[in-house]
Amino acid sequence: MLIESTIAGVRSRLRDLRRDGAHVALVPTMGALHAGHLALVDAARKAADVVAVSIFVNPLQFGPGEDLARYPRTPESDAASVAEHGATIVFTPTAEEMYGALGSRTTVTPPSFGALFEGAVRPGHFTGVLTVVAKLFNIVQPDVAIFGRKDLQQLALIRAMVADLNFAVQITAIDTVRDSDGLALSSRNRYLDAEARRHAPALRAALVAAKNTFESGNADPAAIESAGRGTLAKDGMFDVDYLALVNETDFATPPVAVRGNSVVAAARIGGTRLIDNIQL
């Protein structure tokens, strides 16, 4: 496996790898890798001849007071893990390499639904996400890029950006990887103390309760959302940012729930913010 930290270096390596017509898959990450990330690498290995993994803690997507400084960084174990799963090349740029000495002067503005939910709670977050993803697409020029469904609004915005800006890349999404008790895997789960970790699966239970309401024959969005919120209220440990039924394309609330809609949720427990979703 190759490791490159410069844009020129990774472009040169990929140019050499493409000479025989190889297709390239990109897995963008911020490191601190877990089994969910490695599932993305496995999917990339099946989708293309060359697997490029980026490991970059993107400062542009962190707001004031967020956890940029303490975000977990485990570069050595990350490189070993993706090598075991068949990665071809790892791109590990610095912030200066990605944005230059002057910083990011040009950014990508999300479509209007980027101001909802995560965008409302974390202003500017999706501008940072879309900007770095656009830069990675331009640097790596992948044929396919692999993302997880856990960050569902992010996935929808990336799909919209690819369509609107005519990126020649296929976006493939894989299901959320979970612990045995249902908690969605996340690099931030390591922030949870023992009590918070014990209660954390209640977020998944709330989403299941919302889905069960729909499957019982109730298509009223308010009833579906109420079932989820009620489950979290009974647990008593969560400060809920949002729990809502949405259309996966533009994150609007449908007048009546239909199969393919999703319930998205974000809540804080013990100082740690968790996000998750479930599809009807």
Confidence label for 20 from pLDDT (cuts 50, 70 and 90): confident
Sheet holding 272-279, edge to edge: 239-246, 262-269, 272-279
Residue 108, pLDDT score: 98
pLDDT tens for residues 33-66? 999 999 999 999 999 999 999 999 999 999 998 9
How many domains, in total, are found in the chain? 2
Residue 78: inside a domain, yes or no? yes
Find out whether 76 and 30 touch, Cβ atoms under 8 Å: no
pLDDT greater than 90 at residue 104: no
Separation of alpha carbons 121 and 219, rounded Å: 27
Question: What's the CATH number where 219 sits?
Answer: 3.30.1300.10
Q: Are residues 194 and 223 in the same domain?
A: yes
- 3-class state of residue 1 by DSSP: coil
Question: Domain ends where: 174, 201, 233?
Answer: 174
How far apart, in whole angstroms, are the C-alpha atoms of residue 130 and residue 158? 7
Tokens of residue 123, six digits: 């202003």
Distance in angstroms (rounded) separating the CA atoms of residues 170 and 48: 11
> What does the pLDDT read at residue 36?
97
Distance CA 155, CA 131 (A): 14
Rounded CA gap, 204 and 277, in Å?
8
Tell whether 17 and 105 lie within a shared domain: yes
d(CA 24, CA 45): 9
Domain's final residue, options 124, 142, 174? 174
Q: Is 37 a catalytic residue?
A: yes
Find the mean pLDDT for residues 244-272: 97
Span 132-145, pLDDT tens digits = 999 999 999 999 99
Are 211 and 152 in the same domain? no
Average pLDDT, whole number, for the chain? 97
Please report, for the domain that includes residue 37, its CATH number: 3.40.50.620
- pLDDT tens for 197-209 read 999 999 999 999 9
User: What share of the chain has pLDDT > 90, as a percent?
Assistant: 96
Query: Residue 102: its pLDDT value, please?
Result: 85
Active-site residue among 37, 85, 125, 199? Answer: 37
Q: What is the mean pLDDT of residues 252-261?
A: 97
What does the pLDDT look like over 115-126, one tens digit per residue? 999 999 999 999
pLDDT at position 189 over 90: yes
| Mean pLDDT score, 179-201 | 97
pTM summary value: 0.96
Residues 6+ apart with CB under 8 A from 262: 152, 245, 246, 248, 277, 278, 279, 280
With 90 as the cut, is the pLDDT of residue 192 above it?
Answer: yes
**Does 196 lie in the same domain as 162?**
no
- Do 1 and 14 meet the contact criterion of CB atoms below 8 Å apart? no
Q: Is 145 helix (H, G, I), strand (E, B) or coil?
A: strand
Q: Has residue 156 been placed in a domain?
A: yes
**What are the residues whose beta carbons fall under 8 Å from the beta carbon of 46, sequence distance 6 or more?**
none
* pLDDT bucket at 166, cuts 50 / 70 / 90: very high
Question: What residues form DSSP beta bridges with 243?
Answer: 265
Contact 133, 51 (CB under 8 A): no
Closest CA to 113 of 240, 247, 245: 247
In angstroms, the Cα distances linking 227 to 50, 201, 210, 244, 253 are 45, 16, 5, 11, 16
Taking residues 232-252, report their average pLDDT.
Answer: 97
Domain finish residue from 174, 196, 220: 174
Domain with 17, as residue range(s), is 2-174
